[in-house]
Amino acid sequence: MKLAADVIAGLAEHLEQAQLQGHDVVKITDAHPEMDWEDAYAIQDTIRARKLARGDRVVGLKAGLTSHAKMKQMGVESPVFGFLSESFAVADGGVITHAELIHPKVEPEIAFVLKHELRGPGCHIGAVLAATDFVIPAIEVIDSRYRDFKFDLKSVVADNTSSARFVVGSSAVPAEGLDLRTAGVVMEINGEVRAIGAGAAVLGHPAASVAMLANFLAERGEAIPAGTLILTGGVTEAVAVKPGDHVQLRVQGIGSCAVRFA
Ligand code: OOG
Ligand code: MG
């Protein structure tokens, strides 16, 4: 760790206030170039603790920047991990108030729900599939708190990987019998197809993203608890949305989900 405890607490408050008030900030590594990975995750953990202290709950975990399309779009080269809070959950077919956010974008994702705990190191796709209860389509709404969505990996980790809202579908399908690599993903905005992909865009297989998360948590002595919802990362580039937009995601063999921005 390179940053003092009071600096970490201050940066967590700074970023969480930006999220709660819906305003942007400059990326924090500009003022703290010495910040390391431990500092970045410590800031994210402090944001999580602030939310829990306010009565919010952690309802899932997420991996981000797991597809080449996303890595290329954001100019980075490795995945990042964050948490999903209950206050960010939106019902399938629900409405999100655009003005509460800064510059929201939507991404099509394949989410997993586990029936068994997953613990690394050495977690692999087979272990993930064996521990999976079902898969479910998800639209993630990301809203980097950083000006113009411009950041480096440590800044985005501290900002809880741009997590802002998420919607999961209401059809849960067991992973057995599905080929998640070839599962087609189609995201429409206002009836127009805006993003097309297949599950393999995410690290070759979306279950690989869950395995990577388990192995990452193992380095911190943690596991993914049974019952956890996991967003495996955008299959395609994220697409900016405006008030009035209706977003619909269809994932082949799994189902659909939708959300509207008011
Ligand atoms: C970081 C979060 C990326 C994904 O699915 O790739 C993410 C960002 O691009 O702002 O959630
Ligand atoms: Mg995402």
Q: Whose alpha carbon is nearest atom 1 of ligand 1?
A: 161
Q: Whose alpha carbon is nearest atom 4 of ligand 1?
A: 64
Mean pLDDT taken over the chain: 97
- Asked if residue 20 belongs to a domain, the reply is no
- Asked if residue 4 belongs to a domain, the reply is no
pLDDT, residue 74, reads 87
- Is residue 142 lining ligand 1, measured as CB closer than 6 Å? yes
- Asked if residue 31 belongs to a domain, the reply is no
Q: Where are the alpha helices (DSSP H) in the chain?
A: 5-21, 37-53, 68-74, 125-131, 153-158, 206-219
CATH code: domain of residue 184: 3.90.850.10
- Is residue 144 lining ligand 1, measured as CB closer than 6 Å? yes
pLDDT, residue 106, reads 98
Ligand 1 atom with minimal separation from the 232 CA: 5
Give the structural domain span for 104: 57-261
- Asked if residue 126 belongs to a domain, the reply is yes
Hey, how many other C-beta atoms are within 10 angstroms of the C-beta on 198? 17
- Asked if residue 26 belongs to a domain, the reply is no
- Is residue 162 lining ligand 1, measured as CB closer than 6 Å? yes
Phi-psi region of 4 (alpha: psi -120 to 50; beta: other; left: phi over 0): beta
Structure tokens at 27: 């990326």
pLDDT, residue 75, reads 87
Ligand 1 atom with minimal separation from the 144 CA: 10
Ligand 1 center from residue 196 Cα (angstroms): 17
> pLDDT per residue over 77-114, tens digit each?
889 999 999 999 999 999 999 999 999 999 999 999 99
Residue stretches of the chain with pLDDT short of 50: none
Ligand 1 center from residue 79 Cα (angstroms): 9
Q: Give how many domains the chain has, as a whole number.
A: 1
Ligand 1 atom with minimal separation from the 73 CA: 9
pLDDT, residue 150, reads 93
pTM for this prediction: 0.97
Give the chain's count of helices (H) and strands (E). 6, 13
Taken as a whole, the chain contains a residue count of: 262
Spell out which residues have Cβ within 5 A of ligand 2, the ion: 64, 107, 140, 234
